[in-house]
Amino acid sequence: MIHGSILVVDDESTQRETLAGVLRQWGHAVATAGDADEALAQLGDRPFDLMLTDLRMPGRSGLALLAESRRLRPDVAVVVVTAYGTVEGAVEAMQQGAVDFVGKPLDLDRLALVIERALKMRRLVHENEVLRRRLAETAVTTRLLGSSAAMAEVLGRAGRAADTDATVLIRGESGTGKELLARSIHDLSPRAAAPFVAVNCAALPEALLESELFGHLRGSFTGAEQERRGRVLQADGGTLFLDEIGDLAAAVQVKLLRFLQEREITPVGGDHAVPVNVRVVAATHRDLRARIGDGAFREDLYFRLNVVELVLPALRERREDIPELAAHFLTRYARRYARPARAFSAEAMALLMTHPYAGNVRELENIVEQTVVMTRGEVVERDDLPSAVLAGRGADGASAAPGADLAATLEAFERRLVQDALAACDGNQSEAARRLGLTESGLRYKLGKWKDR
């Protein structure tokens, strides 16, 4: 049986509490209300999966409650209770959005069936909405990661692995987008409608990490006042993302290896294994081979994790992605902070293109956010950029690579703008020139200059 949170609405207290008691025995979380106003107040305060309401009540009727609840909480499934012989009311309720009805006196077998069907329908609708949203976001995430040759190779491998259950190990420097890539793999997989659960292995103390991953039973250690479902169980049916796996404590590595081998876990304090259906994606900025040599990481765990290996390049290794990423972040933060900025000047972009980016994409995002906050015009100029960029210093104080060719960088950016404009105008040079602020002859001159290069 599917369990859910149910609001029972009935003006007769005995019937209301009796029904609530039955539903609790079936494993549902139940709240009650004596009239429509009380029910609407509860709907406004907390989410419910289902509302079970009598049609005939003093004050606002069940039909009026149904109409208002559809406006307030359209995602809540509504089942109406009506006396036998009053089919008209039930039909009208169904026409107004109720998912089903049950008659009085209640037939508990039918009630159980109706509730199960209503909760299952609501879950399917929710999962479909989540799937559509995630798939819509996937395109944005992929654009955010970039379209350079280096990224195309990584994304191609990720796409081929996504529709399998193979364990994936993502390597890359901090700030390269390892979690974004993990989420893209999940969103493109058959598990997209199920949970994506992320755990930062470096952020949790060793004493808590085992309980956080595998859960614990009540009383299994000091402070364990109630049972806890671990992150692995929370991800059941979906994807478990283990970030900074290279920092996993040795004792937890043993349990993780057993889970990957057996696909079952034993909570802390428990003596029975629980089977779990989870796809694992791990990530690290560390050299795991070196960690194995130092005795800090198990070689057998490494081979279990490294079924598919994806290596995200540093931003300095794919500078051709910088204009696309910078434009994406500019749009995002201009909207967030209600700023007019909509483009970078060629000189400003040239500085962004030659910046060292020790912090990778995360540093670029921070730079653009700072810039948007301080910019007052529509075009971001050189002097609008943070002082570290103007001085050619990265987040760690490192300077840009000596010999960076400003002219070549500007020309590469200019070609990218022209190519994008032509693509957006389906090759129409007149329209592309207008969008770029060029004359047609000026655009043709540039195209001719680049033709043989």
Q: What is the 3-state secondary structure (H, E, C) of 370-382?
A: HHHHHCCCCEECH
CB-based contacts of 321, cutoff 8 Å, min separation 6: 146, 147, 148, 151, 315
Contact 350, 406 (CB under 8 A): yes
Q: Take residue 94 and report the two structure tokens written for it.
A: 């169904």
Contact 117, 135 (CB under 8 A): no
Q: pLDDT 10s digit of each residue in the chain, 453 long?
A: 678 899 999 998 988 999 999 999 999 999 999 999 999 999 988 889 999 998 888 888 888 898 888 888 888 889 988 875 556 667 777 777 888 888 888 888 889 988 988 888 777 777 656 555 555 555 445 544 676 778 878 888 888 898 899 999 999 999 999 999 999 899 888 898 899 999 998 887 776 777 788 876 765 666 666 667 788 888 999 999 999 999 988 888 988 898 899 888 877 766 777 889 999 999 999 999 999 999 999 999 999 999 999 999 999 888 888 988 998 899 999 999 999 998 888 888 888 988 999 999 999 999 999 999 999 889 999 999 999 898 866 555 555 544 444 555 556 666 767 776 777 677 888 887 776 667 777 777 778 777 655
Q: Take residue 130 and report the two structure tokens written for it.
A: 């989540």
Q: How far is CA 148 from the centre of its chain?
A: 24
Q: Do domains 149-313 and 317-450 have the same CATH topology?
A: no
pLDDT of res. 153: 84
pLDDT of res. 140: 42
Q: Classify each residue of 28-53 as buried b or exposed e, where b means 16 or more C-beta atoms within 10 Å of its C-beta.
A: bebbbbbbbebbbebbeeeebbbbbb
pLDDT of res. 143: 45
**What is d(CA 234, CA 124) in angstroms, rounded to the nearest whole number?**
18
pLDDT of res. 292: 95
- Residue 414, CA distances (Å) to 200, 268, 398, 420 in order: 40, 59, 27, 10
Contact 210, 267 (CB under 8 A): no
pLDDT of res. 221: 60
Contact 242, 280 (CB under 8 A): yes
Nearest to 312 by CA among 283, 291, 281, 355: 283
CATH 3.40.50.2300 fits 5-124, yes or no: yes
**What is d(CA 164, CA 170) in angstroms, rounded to the nearest whole number?**
16
pLDDT of res. 75: 83
CATH of domain 317-450: 1.10.8.60
Ordered by start, the domain boundaries in the chain are 5-124, 149-313, 317-450
**What is d(CA 333, CA 372) in angstroms, rounded to the nearest whole number?**
7
- The string of DSSP codes covering 90-123 is HHHHHHTT--EEEEESP-HHHHHHHHHHHHHHHH
CATH of domain 149-313: 3.40.50.300
Q: Take residue 441 and report the two structure tokens written for it.
A: 């002859």
Residue carrying the six token digits 């909760």: 119
Neighbours of 200 (CB within 10 A): 13
Beta strand pairing call for 239-243 and 279-284: parallel
